[in-house]
Structure 1
Amino acid sequence: MPRVALILLVVALSLAGCADAPPPTVPAPTVPTADTRVSPPPSAVTQDRPLAADPAQMATDLVADESALRDPAAPNSVLAAAAHRQQAAYRILGRHPEWDSLIRPHIPADLREVVDRNIDARRQLSAMGRPKDTLPAWRIVEPRPAQELLGYYREAQSAFGVGWNYLAAINFIETAFGRVAGVSTAGAQGPMQFMPATFAAYGAGGDILAPRDSIMAAGRYLAANGFDRDPDHALYRYNNSQNYVRAVHDYAAVIAAHPLALAGYHRWSVYYNTTSGDMLLPVGYSQDAPVPVSDYTGVYSAPYTPASAEIRISPRSAEILDRLLAARRQTPAAGGAALSAALSQPFLGTAYGADTLVGSQDVPEQLVIDLERVDCFTLADYIEALKRAETRDQFIDALTAVRYQDGLVGFASRRHFFTDWSAGSPPIATDVTADVSADAVTVTKNLNRRDDGGTYLPGLPVTRREVTYIPADRVDGGVLAQLRPGDYVGAYAEDGGLDVTHVGMFLTGPDGPVLRNASSLSKDQQVVDSPFPDYVGTVPGIVVLRPVT
């Protein structure tokens, strides 16, 4: 049985609290239903159009790219750009089921199944593996031409009765049509990822690395496992995962539905899902052994080209940033608790200020850097960005990654909730609440939903999420012993539409543990160190996130 382990395709307001009251609810604008929309002409595609940050615009652009990829007259430059954005959009949309209601009205009826199947395939494959902190020991090479591979798929179909589109889907999922020249962690080899012993039984004496021989062997193997009678069983034998079976069905259906779909997929690149987000492995990438992701950040970490965002920073904030970065450069060896304490200390005494961020369903998002005043969540943003930067440009890139999911500066992609840091992509922190205390309680919340049925943030969907917290009366000495300096602690919200109402950093002070936080209390109105036990006594419970850096 083949053992497949590569799975290339797997791979101005904050609801964190701080403000005295949630924003008012206003009705969302109406949009036409998908049934009333038609696909745009291929001419709507431009070669240099960046990836949109807004889900609705991303969906609209995706429709234009899908249409272009089905146009036999489209020039190669347009096709390459469309396929690149298409792949990037599906990877992002696959990670955000909460956006489904935002994008669906923008998908015309004639493309709805195509979009649905591509997004579902991404989610199925993503469910098969977790992000890795190393890059793989692979070589990335140019694949054989799509027409050549299509001939092999059809030859195998004629010989063994296995649909050519299924063989293409497997070849696509396993190695991006042979782009990956490498051995899986289980020892599988070749374009169709066979274990050598299995290939010896079904390869008819061929070469496991040769595209034709490998594709023919896959046809024999699937036929021997009853593909004609029960495709699900045969595909499951190929890789023991129902997620895999469903993903193959999804891609096979899209490939069969349109003659140019295969050519579009054939233009996709190799992305690898890491703890630092998607990493693009270009042709020419070559590693003999796994290497830490951090060694290649900035080299292979730009798979998307998001639209440039307007940056808002005052001259005074720019001066403060330069001082903070200078201090950061003087402590390059400091890590963990020492770095968290050092980078957060200059913020003590900074004025509290709510609603400093700019963006809403009606107002374009701006990347705001306001270091003259902070709220509890922007304080955490700036500290985490400083950990990752020594220059202004690095700080801007780091703040974008910390504040926004997938590095897309947009209102919908902003991490509005505290737990977005652990649940979002890529994760900024790990939820260690349950690890800190055996008394932790998990509840299911509908984040962004108000008790009256409206939403706290108009234009954003309601997100169903499990939130774990430690009741305040269970935060004892044992819990304190498990907390680490630099952990972020959120005040658990009893409201079912919020996860926390306030955020701060846990640190050890000369008089005991403290919560370094931007306090909106009338007696404070600035960043202060609050005695931790005293603070816990004022909230229902705590949520603990541990930063990944």
Structure 2
Amino acid sequence: MSHTLAKTVGGIGCAVLALPLLAALIVAALVGSFIPGPAGGTDAAPSKYALSDIPPRMLALYQRAAPECPGLSWTILAAIGKVETDHARHPTMVSSAGAIGPMQFMPTTFPAYAYPVPPGGKRPPTPWDPVDAVFAAARMLCANGARNGKNLSGAIYSYNHSRTYVRQVLDIADRYQAQAAHAAAPNQRAAIAVAFAHAQLGTPYQWGGDGPHEGGFDCSGLTKAAYAKAGITLPRVAEAQYHATSKVPRGKPLLPGDLVFFGRLGNLHHVGIYIGNNQMINAPNRRSVVRIENYHWTDFWGATRPTQ
């Protein structure tokens, strides 16, 4: 936990990036090659280390909050969360300097970056709430130079006035990014479906849910909604989706947008959207949110490729 925080008070710094624009940016990255920016691209895939070190809810939150500052990688937010409180695992989350909460805000600094209250945040916002704190951290970094990576090191230094701190954050952020490049999506429809799924990270799991208007998604509700956004209609449940889509032969490489299924024929109980680097976006269970996970589950059955 940091003990020398000296955060400056200023304006919000940047506006919320609209979801359609976010989707367009992700589509552009997926259709072409992945080119990492400083300390990880804005849509950088989590490394194995990140998936093992960051609690799934916090990982989804870092990914959801990063677009608050255009060009900011979620890996920077995650690295700050790691250094400050080990992703809210610190027993008190109070520093000797009086900084509080998972992202270690001074109580006098936090209000400058707390509004607008993000979806799922507290009302009134509080630095103790992970959603409020992570979004406020993204806004503060943006206000101090992180927008489009123009002065990322300076922005991190403004968060904690220590050169050692800056190097530590950048090193962890690099370790949190998967080093392998993204495979290209096979077509624009697959890229749109993946972009939609990315935009849902952090959305609560809801049995039978087809979207936030119902409180969230279940696994097949997420895949159905993602491909509906791309203009492809899928059946509602996992088993039916498997039979309605083109099978990827075993041993052939998967591509972003492929559907990955789990269980066995007659009881395919789960489905996710493959995004590359052996990872999928899925809505796993009632105790979780839409998140990124490794797809190599023990009961993986096979993959399909939706087509028009």
TM-score for both structures, normalised by structure 1 = 0.22
